[in-house]
Amino acid sequence: MGTHNLPEWLDELLPEMKQPVEIFLDGSMLAARYPDGSVDMLSENIEEAYDKIRGDDIDMVFSDDVYDKFACRDEDGETMSRMMTVPSSDGYTQRLLMSRTDQDRLDSLERHWDDAQAAYREWKDDPDDLFKSYMMVDTHPAFWTRAFQFSSADHSWKETLLWSWETSGYCQELWSHPWRDEAGRLYWAIEGGSHVADSTSEWRDEYYNKVQVIGIFQEHYHDVRLDAFGDTYEAAIVSFALNVDKYFNPDGTEREDTDYEETPLEKIISERMDEMERVTGKSWRKWHDSLPVVKFAEYGEWTRSQR
């Protein structure tokens, strides 16, 4: 376990937590207190104050006295949410003022990790149950990926995206299809695979194949070890969950003590790669390992340094 209540591999990929700007009341005026302790006077109008601070990479929180004065409340007298709802200046509608911080993003990830652990424990107690098998696979950290498909060199990039992860819903991405064996017997087959840590196939730029970018986690691959079959779709899901647990720990890392025999196709591919290296005298593995290594979060900065 790392610094936070998260799988260690994920904890290592998260940025340092930034302190938000606090919007508070100074008499009748709204003011902003920055992480360095400096203060700016803003406005008496909550929307104007909010709009002066709002930015793509600026998080803010509202003090309790701001909530007490401006927030709309539900029938029980509670504020609608920490994302404060206020009467709009047009006099007819309400406006949602977003208040989300790195602590909120961390709390969300930790809740999802707790949910995944709970789903795994429930499945472990009854691995033949369809619903428990489905939920275990659907939330398993081996399938968690980043919630966006571009690099840190993209114009849409902002550091808060490093907190954004898809932590559930993987079962909808599984490939399921009918399949007949050599004897003609019909089965349901399910195929899938874990996240890929370092693949750049989702975004190819001028530096593609010129650098190793690590810690990407943006796509899955077909892992033949997980291929599952059953007389019904339900039975195949149950079998797929068993395969996931055979090869992956509950935190999403690979189990190190599991034997696996390559399929005939995998053996053919490996033999052909070896043959290609013998014929060309060039080793793809050695070439790839010789490339410079850059972390995903630092890739944008690295590309700018190359120009």
pLDDT tens for each residue of 26-63: 999 999 999 999 999 999 998 899 888 886 678 888 88
Domain count within the chain: 2
How far is Cα 64 from Cα 51, in angstroms, rounded to an integer? 19
Which residue among 69, 100, 131 closes a domain?
A: 100
Residue in the block written with tokens 């591919």: 269
208 and 157 in a single domain? The answer is yes
291 and 173 in a single domain? The answer is yes
| Backbone φ, ψ for residue 214 (5° rounding) | -110, 150
Structural contact between residues 138 and 171, judged by C-beta atoms closer than 8 angstroms = yes
Which residue among 100, 130, 148 closes a domain?
A: 100
Q: Which domain holds residue 94?
A: 19-100
| Backbone φ, ψ for residue 135 (5° rounding) | -70, -35
User: Is there a domain that residue 35 lies in?
Assistant: yes
109 and 240 in a single domain? The answer is yes
Taking residues 61-66, report their average pLDDT. 88
- Structure confidence at residue 279 (pLDDT): 85
User: Is there a domain that residue 1 lies in?
Assistant: no
143: pLDDT strictly greater than 90: yes
More confident residue, 258 or 170: 170
Which residue among 100, 135, 151 closes a domain?
A: 100
User: Is there a domain that residue 11 lies in?
Assistant: no
Beta strand 94-97 pairing with 84-87: antiparallel
119 and 91 in a single domain? The answer is no
**Reported confidence tier of residue 283, pLDDT bands at 50, 70, 90:** confident
User: Is there a domain that residue 293 lies in?
Assistant: yes
274 and 245 in a single domain? The answer is yes
Taking residues 198-227, report their average pLDDT. 85
pTM score of the predicted model? 0.85
Per-residue model confidence as pLDDT tens digits over 287-304? 778 888 999 999 999 888
- Structure confidence at residue 278 (pLDDT): 83
130 and 64 in a single domain? The answer is no
User: Is there a domain that residue 7 lies in?
Assistant: no
More confident residue, 101 or 117: 117
Per-residue model confidence as pLDDT tens digits over 8-25? 999 999 999 999 999 999
User: Is there a domain that residue 8 lies in?
Assistant: no
User: Is there a domain that residue 6 lies in?
Assistant: no
Taking residues 207-211, report their average pLDDT. 80
121 and 207 in a single domain? The answer is yes
285 and 297 in a single domain? The answer is yes
**Reported confidence tier of residue 201, pLDDT bands at 50, 70, 90:** low
163 and 219 in a single domain? The answer is yes
66 and 176 in a single domain? The answer is no
- Structure confidence at residue 202 (pLDDT): 64
Contact residues for 275 (Cβ-Cβ < 8 A; gap 6+): none
- Structure confidence at residue 73 (pLDDT): 60
Structural contact between residues 156 and 196, judged by C-beta atoms closer than 8 angstroms = no
124 and 262 in a single domain? The answer is yes
The mean-pLDDT minimum among 59-73, 108-122, 241-255 falls in 59-73
85 and 163 in a single domain? The answer is no
